[in-house]
């Protein structure tokens, strides 16, 4: 992804409240804000334009992050129609400052964004289906560039539904594959900008340690991963069926170990150096 200069404007001086974002040499613009300030978001001139939007929050049934992706010729009118959806607490929408986004353009963007959010696997996509649209080759290329800019701005605005889990590491620290071993089982993973990813095919112990009951988070994490199919029993152990991101190396190690673990000591490189030693080098 190319380098970029971002102009971020905090309307009320608070990064959690209404804010706008623009990229240098790009005709698009993003508006973001909490649901509690929806009136302020909708009062902006940009909300009268056509564009695509993201509603994000937590699904009450599963406790997982959730996102709804939509398109509208009037963002303002469409967002008001979503007030009956109670899962979302944050909105981000994207428009074109030169008003060159047609109905076909935004339908194309919506279809691609729903597809990308599902592939990323970071949040439940609440859309039933997407319409999508076919575009001439030149328009399609323009919209792919628009999509790339959306990907750049979304994390800056506190929305990571498009950020793939297990993204190929780029930084020096992230590039090292680390290993966590216990009872003849092995898990592999690496650091990411947002935490730690355990890679598909890694193993975890089948049964938790007795002491794990003192740490409800460990049990809850393992149970959730088992329930959603991320961890599947494979003989006398559990296997990760997909790349899985955790908030920290320790959070990942506790699931692998079935009990409390210090991730800085549990994860080692192929030479046997612990993560703690590697970070101190």
- The residues, any chain, with a CB within 8 Å of residue 160's CB and separated by 6 or more, are 122, 154, 194
The pLDDT assigned to 280 comes to 77
Query: Sign of dihedral through CA atoms 212, 217, 222, 227?
Result: positive
User: Is residue 270's pLDDT more than 60?
Assistant: yes
Q: Average pLDDT, whole number, for the chain?
A: 90
- Phi, psi of 198, rounded to the nearest 5 degrees: -95, 130
Q: How far, rounded to the nearest angstrom, does the alpha carbon of residue 45 sit from its chain's CA centroid?
A: 29
DSSP-derived 3-state class of residue 263: helix
- Could you tell me the pTM of the whole model? 0.78
User: Is residue 210's pLDDT more than 70?
Assistant: yes
Bridge partners of 35?
A: none
User: Is residue 197's pLDDT more than 80?
Assistant: yes
Q: For the chain, give every domain's residue range.
A: 6-156, 178-280
User: Is residue 265's pLDDT more than 90?
Assistant: yes
User: Is residue 62's pLDDT more than 90?
Assistant: no
Q: Are 42 and 78 in contact (CB under 8 A)?
A: no
Please state, in angstroms and rounded to a whole number, the distance separating the CA atoms of residues 221 and 261.
14
Q: How far, rounded to the nearest angstrom, does the alpha carbon of residue 240 sit from its chain's CA centroid?
A: 19
Please state, in angstroms and rounded to a whole number, the distance separating the CA atoms of residues 157 and 169.
22
């Amino acid at each position: 992804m190319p380098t970029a200069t971002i102009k971020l404007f905090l309307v009320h001086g608070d990064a959690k409240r209404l804010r706008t974002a623009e990229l240098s040499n790009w005709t698009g613009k993003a508006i973001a804000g909490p649901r509690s300030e929806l009136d302020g978001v909708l009062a902006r001139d940009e909300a009268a334009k056509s564009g695509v939007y993201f509603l994000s929050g937590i699904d009450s049934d599963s406790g997982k992050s959730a996102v709804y992706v939509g398109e509208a010729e009037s963002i303002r009118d469409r967002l008001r129609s979503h007030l009956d959806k109670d899962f979302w607490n944050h909105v981000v929408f994207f428009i074109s400052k030169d008003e060159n986004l047609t109905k076909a353009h935004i339908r194309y963007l919506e279809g691609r964004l729903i597809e990308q959010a599902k592939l990323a696997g970071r949040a439940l996509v609440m859309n039933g289906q997407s319409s999508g649209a076919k575009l001439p080759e030149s328009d399609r290329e323009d919209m792919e560039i628009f999509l790339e800019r959306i990907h750049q701005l979304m994390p800056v605005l506190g929305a990571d539904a498009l950020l793939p889990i297990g993204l190929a590491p780029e930084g020096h620290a992230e590039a090292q594959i680390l290993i966590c071993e216990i009872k003849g089982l092995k898990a592999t993973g690496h650091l990411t900008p947002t935490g730690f990813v355990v890679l598909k095919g890694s193993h975890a112990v089948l049964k938790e340690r007795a002491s794990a009951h003192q740490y409800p988070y460990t049990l809850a994490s393992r149970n959730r991963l088992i329930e959603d199919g991320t961890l599947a029993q494979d003989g006398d152990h559990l296997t990760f069926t997909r790349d899985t991101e955790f908030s920290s190396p320790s959070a990942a190690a506790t699931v692998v170990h079935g009990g409390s673990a210090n991730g800085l000591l549990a994860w080692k490189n192929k030479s046997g150096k612990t993560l703690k030693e590697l970070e101190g080098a």
